[in-house]
Amino acid sequence: MAVSTFVSTLRRLAWLAAAAALALHAATARAAGEDEEHGAGPGAGADFSTAPRVDVHKPVELIPLYLRAKRIHGLQPFQELVDKAPEGSVLAVPAGHYAGPVHLKKRLSIEGQGEVVIDGGDKGTVFVVEANGAVLRNLTITGSGESHDSDDTCLNIRGHGNLIEKLKIADCLFGIDLKQADRNIVRGNTVRSKDFELGVRGDGIRLWYSNDNLIEDNLVTDTRDMVAWYSHRNIYRGNEGRRSRYSIHFMFANDNVVENNRFYDNAVGVYFMYMEGGVARNNVISHATGATGMGLGFKESSDILIENNEVIYCAVGVGSDLSPFQPDTTIRFVGNRFAFNGIAIQLTSELGGNELLGNTFEGNLTDVFQGGRGGGVKNRWVGNYFDTYQGFDRDGDGHGDTPHEDYAYADRLWMEIPNARFFKASPVLELLDFLERLAPFSAPGLQARDEAPLYARPERPIKGRTHE
């Protein structure tokens, strides 16, 4: 074998180990002399936007019926009904109890007639939709397994353009799990996890590499989280979440919309992590309490609009860490109400970039906590209402005659020393605060400055609804 041929073979093997498609293109280009002619290196001109999408999630693995709980062995397998129904037809299921598992691999409309229960027998996943354009409506799916390793789920969706409507998902580790599933509608379902401790429950509704889905009018209670990971342009509308950890947790998920939802008694309302673009509007987030209680959270996220939300009775209304993160971007808080929180706005970044316009602050123990030095003058505050404002409106234009300024005095010791929080609002700290304001030992730190605060509290309409 000639030396040149031997070297060429080694090169081809190396490229195949790295990326087979690019290696084949590069080898062909070398053979034809294209690289030498045009001066381009291996892989020049490759178009990754047209590269095939790789199935990186685990394949469907359903535990057979005979290995599931004996209580369902005498039930009719639901899979038999699915197999007999012609593709594209409507399967009207008579009321009754049926045994899982179910694997739907064709376009089919499954309509429950009365009470239809599909029981997974406490093993593995109960129902998998691996089809496009299917409909599931008026079914109860229950009895998944308990394994986080195998993502035991009541309903696993791995197709596009499906309608999942009016299902009852109960006694499940994970409730509804969308994996690489686009343009689906998940509407009007009730989801409840297994009766486990909070940290070991599964997620109520989970999106993983799933885009352009509508998650609407669902009731999710006693689960772990609703999550969207690497999932873009989804809409969460009209949902209600109770007694879980994260109402919604976004991670590397851009341009999602969260509107008209109600979240109560969760540890965290909506958390935006490593996210760019998106909107949260007209939501009610209440009673996110405890050591980590937070209504809205931001971690290295950018270009998000927070508009007309009610954030009330939370330990921290807004907790923001290094956000906005990208240069020349903002996070805008417009027309929100922050009421009766421990800290209404907690900003730990010194970079600024937050804009607070026309918000209402009332009944909070602390309106603003600005971490670091100098960050208080880098955020923009315009036309907000503060019930702590100490000025007047002599000209009657609706705005205070003097700016509203929020400074950090001695009573903010609890912000820097967590153990001191036990004494927050105690007579001792109140006395220290009074003395510091009367004769400060050092210049207090500016937290926020609103040049034209609203003088009268604006009226707000009652919005949203509660699932019965």
Q: Is 293 exposed, middle or buried (0-12, 13-18, 19+ CB in 10 A)?
A: buried
**pLDDT value of position 407:** 80
Name, in order, each residue with C-beta under 8 angstroms of 100's C-beta and a sequence gap of 6 or more. Answer: 65, 68, 72, 77, 78, 79, 118, 119, 120, 121, 126, 127, 141, 143
| Percent over 70 (pLDDT), the chain | 77
Is the model more confident about 458 or about 213?
A: 213
- Is the pLDDT at 428 greater than 70, yes or no? no
135 neighbors 163 (Cβ within 8 angstroms): yes
- Is the pLDDT at 23 greater than 90, yes or no? no
Is the model more confident about 413 or about 14?
A: 413
**pLDDT value of position 9:** 46
If you average pLDDT over residues 95-117, what whole number do you get? 95
| Start-to-end CA span in the chain (Å) | 79
- Is the pLDDT at 32 greater than 50, yes or no? no
- Is the pLDDT at 38 greater than 80, yes or no? no
Q: Is 312 exposed, middle or buried (0-12, 13-18, 19+ CB in 10 A)?
A: buried
Tokens of 417: 């020393």
**pLDDT value of position 259:** 98
Is the model more confident about 216 or about 35?
A: 216
Name, in order, each residue with C-beta under 8 angstroms of 37's C-beta and a sequence gap of 6 or more. Answer: none
d(Cα 158, Cα 164) in Å, to the nearest integer?
12
If you average pLDDT over residues 382-393, what whole number do you get? 93
Give the distance from CA 299 to its chain's centroid. 12
Q: Would you give the DSSP letter of residue 29?
A: H
Scan for tokens 């400055």, then name that residue: 449
**Range in 46-55, 85-94, 375-384, 396-405 the model is least confident about:** 46-55
Question: Which band of pLDDT confidence, cut at 50, 70 and 90, is reported for residue 436?
Answer: low
**Range in 40-49, 155-164, 276-285, 373-382 the model is least confident about:** 40-49
Tell which phi-psi region holds residue 19, choosing left (phi > 0), alpha (psi between -120 and 50) or beta. Answer: beta
Tokens of 426: 């105690």
d(Cα 141, Cα 150) in Å, to the nearest integer?
18
If you average pLDDT over residues 74-94, what whole number do you get? 96
Give per-residue pLDDT as tens, 273-299.
Answer: 999 999 999 999 999 988 789 999 999
**pLDDT value of position 199:** 85
**pLDDT value of position 437:** 59
Q: Would you give the DSSP letter of residue 221?
A: E
Average pLDDT value for the chain? 84
- ∠ Cα 116 119 121 (to 5°): 170
Most confident of 176-180, 347-351, 422-426: 176-180
306 neighbors 336 (Cβ within 8 angstroms): yes
Question: Which band of pLDDT confidence, cut at 50, 70 and 90, is reported for residue 113?
Answer: confident
| Percent over 90 (pLDDT), the chain | 66
Question: Which band of pLDDT confidence, cut at 50, 70 and 90, is reported for residue 182?
Answer: very high
**pLDDT value of position 352:** 86
Distinct helix (H) and strand (E) counts, the chain: 6, 41
